[in-house]
Amino acid sequence: MHPKELVTSTFRQRFGKEPAFVALAPGRVNILGEHVDFNDGFVLPAAIDRATYIAFAPANSERSTLVAADFGEQASFTLASIPTKTNADGAPLAEWAYYPAGVAWALTEADLEVRAIDAVFASNVPQGSGLSSSASIEMAFAVAWQTLSAVEGSAVEGSAVDGAGWVLPPMQRALLGQKAENKYVGVNCGIMDQFASACGVSDKLLLLDCRSLEWQTLPVPEDVAIVIADTSVRRKLTDGEYNKRRQACEDAVKILSQHLPNVRALRDVSVDDFNRLSNQLPGVVEKRARHVVEEIERSRRAIPLLEQGKIREFGQIMNECHTSLRDLYEVSIPELNVMVEIAQSLPGCHGARLTGAGFGGCTANLVEKSVAEAFAAELARQYEAKTGLKPEIYICKASDGARLV
């Protein structure tokens, strides 16, 4: 059953009424610029046509009740219980509930009204796949609470817009979603995932400057398909490996800034300066920081290639990115490497690499649209033959961001 149908039918069964609204927020695939968003770099993601859907209505009490249809689980909380990460009855919140509860917490921290909600959500963004299922949940609930702020005169004084509740632009919703993940869930992610889910544009890649938050769109060539290959190996970001790598980058900045006074983030370090000073860094810190410095430079080189339609040259930069993620940032695993190696060997593949945090999940592949179906079938066949794992292959298109439907 499609997630939209699932959430609406489950809402009727659980709450005995029709949902007032349905919203969606897409997952994302990052094409280039991996693990650089928290280093003030440049990223090139796209929202995809797989999303979290939420059917919702105002609750008749102070208690929000959330049903995760994919898990068959329920959570409830009040504004008073959110800071303690507990249900309204005092039991600990399930981990999946941290994401909507974290959004509610971030909104209240911004002095915006969060109205009690009855909601059912489901997603066809695979969890733990590197396609930002968590950000899609956050952005779907941000849209939901923004929508409910306008219902029945519920706007908070000082935040009303023409008497119709509060309205935040998509980037501001993304920043609040990032705050929820950083401060409430406990994952020190950058802004890219929430940005792509909130600000996606159909048929476009998004180029984001993670320092200034200025962004623009770049065309996906008409004859190119985005093929996402799911290894079926799952990972969890909260296990600390992501945060360790972020800490290594921060350590590198502290050391390099002693020699380069204007350095605030690794974005400010040129490749030449890094090569000159790399011997000042401890071994693991040097490897992590080298990936970031060189990846930011790869993103800079890639922009004019996309603008000029030089997709083969752009694909080669994607291949270089995977090698760096594998050897320097060390977030790849054997299954991801096998998937990438097979893809790069197949006809019509311009570039392939792991996408997302790593340690499992998916690869992103730019493929000639005319052979995308054949590419997907052969990639799946060879991957299963080599690993014994059955992958999921998605031929995707860039889509619009979080919205009511």
Which pLDDT does position 236 carry in this prediction?
Answer: 58
Distances (CA, A) of 301 to 196, 203, 223, 306, 353: 21, 22, 22, 9, 17
* pLDDT one-digit tens code per residue, 139-176: 999 999 999 998 864 433 333 334 468 999 999 999 99
Amino acid occupying residue 390: K
Residues lower than pLDDT 50 in the chain: 153-163, 238
Catalytic position from the list 37, 49, 193, 268 = 193
Instruction: Please tell me the predicted confidence (pLDDT) of residue 158.
Output: 35
Phi, psi (rounded to 5 degrees) for 68: -90, 95
- pLDDT value of residue 239: 57
Cα–Cα–Cα angle for 343, 344, 348, rounded to 5 degrees:
85
Give the model's pLDDT for residue 193.
93
pLDDT at 238 (0 to 100): 45
pLDDT for position 357: 84
The whole model's pTM is what?
A: 0.89
Q: What is the pLDDT of residue 151?
A: 85
Considering only the top CATH level, what class is 3-218? alpha beta
Closest C-alpha among 301, 277, 302 to residue 290: 277
**Domain boundary assignment for the chain:** 3-218
Concerning whether 111 is annotated as a catalytic residue, the answer is: no
Which pLDDT belongs to residue 299? Answer: 96
